[in-house]
């Protein structure tokens, strides 16, 4: 079953269970998916849906941080609950060691292509390669940190 069908089934289940918090979050996700389909006139595949979920989770993380700074724990808790629902639609993430190994492979590959050791100026090339290889599989913030560490050391 596609991710889109799974999301629709979960929405129906939340309606039947009268789980309003979960239903609201799933409706936010479906609205974002429909907006993307309308704006770009495409049929979303699983990879595009994962990108949308990633974006929504990042927004929730930023909101939680802002609410905690403003000492609004009630709103931070609501955002955390939404983030929990959204994370169910992400594929299993790579561990920190797996991300390091993947980045090491990318650095080695770029080193071979360039004929020299990559430097900080090559960060964009590495991020581009990492984005195509690891998108949806790893947190890109974690990937960026691993690339910076690999270039520094």
Task: Look up the CATH number of the domain holding residue 34.
Answer: 1.10.1510.10
- Percent of the chain topping pLDDT 70: 99
User: What are the structure tokens assigned to 120, written together?
Assistant: 């900080």
Closest CA to 57 of 81, 86, 29, 78: 86
Choose the weakest-confidence range: 55-64, 65-74, 117-126. 117-126
13 and 79 share a domain?
yes
Residue 8 has pLDDT above 90, yes or no: yes
Residue 139 has pLDDT above 90, yes or no: no
73 and 103 share a domain?
no
- Count CB atoms within 10 A of the CB of residue 85: 21
Which of residues 60, 87, 114 is at a domain's end?
87
Q: What is the mean pLDDT of the chain?
A: 90
53 and 104 share a domain?
no
Quote the pLDDT of residue 77.
Answer: 96
Spatial separation of the C-alpha atoms in residues 26 and 73, rounded to whole Å: 22
54 and 128 share a domain?
no
Contact status, residue 130 vs residue 147, Cβ threshold 8 Å = yes
Q: Give the structural domain span for 111.
A: 96-152
Contact status, residue 51 vs residue 42, Cβ threshold 8 Å = no
Query: Which pTM does this prediction carry?
Result: 0.76
pLDDT band at 28 (very low <50, low <70, confident <90, very high): very high
Q: What is the domain count for the chain? A: 2
125 and 80 share a domain?
no
Which of residues 87, 109, 129 is at a domain's end?
87
C-alpha dist (Å) from residue 48 to 36, 82, 135: 9, 20, 10
């Amino acid at each position: 079953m596609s991710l889109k069908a799974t999301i629709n089934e979960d929405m129906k289940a939340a309606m039947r269970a009268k789980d309003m918090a979960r239903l609201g979050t799933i409706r936010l996700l479906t609205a974002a998916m429909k907006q993307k389909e309308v704006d770009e006139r495409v049929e979303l595949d699983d990879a595009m849906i994962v990108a949308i979920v990633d974006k929504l989770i990042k927004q929730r993380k930023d909101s939680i941080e802002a609410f905690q700074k403003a000492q609004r724990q009630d709103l931070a808790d609501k955002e955390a609950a939404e983030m929990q629902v959204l994370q169910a639609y992400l594929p299993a993430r790579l561990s920190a060691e797996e991300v390091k190994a993947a980045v090491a492979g990318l650095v080695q590959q770029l080193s071979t292509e360039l004929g020299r050791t990559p430097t900080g100026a090559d960060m964009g090339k590495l991020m581009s390669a990492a984005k195509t290889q690891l998108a949806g599989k790893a947190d890109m913030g974690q990937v960026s940190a691993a690339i910076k560490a690999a270039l520094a050391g």
